[in-house]
Amino acid sequence: MAQGVWTIAEQRDGAIRKITYEIVSEGRRLADALGQELTVVLLGSNIKDKAGELGQYGADKVLVCDDPKLDPYTTDAYVSVISGLVKEGDPAILLLGASVEGKDLSGRLAARLDVAMAQDCTVFAIEDGNLVATRPIYAGKAYAKVTFENSFPQMGTARPNVMSVAEPDASRSADIVDADFSLDDGELKTKVVDVVKDESGKVDLTEADKIVSGGRGMKGPENYNILEELAELIGASVGASRSAVDAGWRPHSDQVGQTGKVVSPNLYVACGISGAIQHLAGMSTSKVIVAINKDEDAPIFQKADYGVVGDLFDVVPALTEEVKKYL
């Protein structure tokens, strides 16, 4: 009988990513509700020394899969290893982050395990001993509560920056186990030949606590410097709407929206963004939304907690000066 909650940790270059702490914390809460154990699967190369800190966030057991073929991430290798462990361990619930890597991995993994999967969830709960997942539909216009019928593990991915992270407990430790797995070279149909890293040092949008975004109203790439200045002052990352990216003003990695990155920062400042459906779908779960637009009828104001009707080229520099005074 399926039992226990499992989560898949995510790391990059040996560093545990923030989404991992979110899903481990959420996994702990679900495991407590079921009165069961929380197991975290950690994959990588020379990664075992990072397993201990996962216990501080609630893991009872950490299954470490250490192999040079598991770093950097490839879908083939991760699906092969994780599917084997899940079939053997038979957990009731399996959680991943809905990050770029998590979305890539979860779809293939669900197919390999032949189970249902709820993608990009914002709430998980236990009802009658089963997982109930809440996820946005219709580009965020509505939310659906979904259950899993005779499908184990009950599998879901969590939208980054939505699940709260537990305070780490240094007195808590996990049972760290070297997982028994095999990785057949015949299954590895892809190979990473080169990695082009972002040397900017900026926090990825999906993990950013604050984001300042610009849209078509920025009028050109040369004007993003006013957003960069404000973002640097408040410790934010800079994003962009699809129209700005399509115009070549910002790289695709900066795009917020349904066809870009789905973000949930504590603060989202939208400058010169009208609020098209696909953009709103990517940022509507932000905790506080501030909109700056000279069109008072712009759809973005319907989602905003605070709205400023005015020319962003007047408002943003003035806001920047006020922040400087405050700091």
Domains of the chain: 5-187 (3.40.50.620), 205-326 (3.40.50.1220)
Rounded-to-integer distance, Cα 185 and Cα 27, Å: 32
Half-sphere exposure at residue 177, Cβ-oriented, CA atoms within 13 angstroms:
13
Q: Give the model's pLDDT for residue 122.
A: 94
One-letter amino acid of 27: G
Instruction: Tally the residues of the chain.
Output: 327
- The DSSP call for residue 236 is -
Q: Give the model's pLDDT for residue 13.
A: 87
pTM: 0.87
Rg (CA), the chain: 21
User: Omega before 72 cis (within 30°)?
Assistant: yes
Helix axes 100-113, 75-89, angle to 10 degrees: 50
Q: Give the model's pLDDT for residue 295.
A: 96
Per residue of the chain (327 residues), what is the pLDDT tens digit? 778 999 999 999 889 999 999 999 999 999 999 999 999 999 999 999 999 999 999 999 999 999 999 999 999 999 999 999 999 999 999 999 999 899 999 999 999 999 999 999 999 999 999 999 999 988 788 999 999 988 899 999 999 989 999 999 999 999 999 999 988 888 888 888 888 777 766 788 988 999 999 999 999 999 999 999 999 999 999 999 999 999 999 999 999 998 899 999 999 999 999 999 999 999 999 999 999 999 999 999 999 999 999 999 999 999 999 999 999
Q: Give the model's pLDDT for residue 151.
A: 87
Containing H/E element for 243? helix 242-246
CA distances from 81 to 62, 105, 107, 187, 284 (A): 15, 12, 15, 10, 35
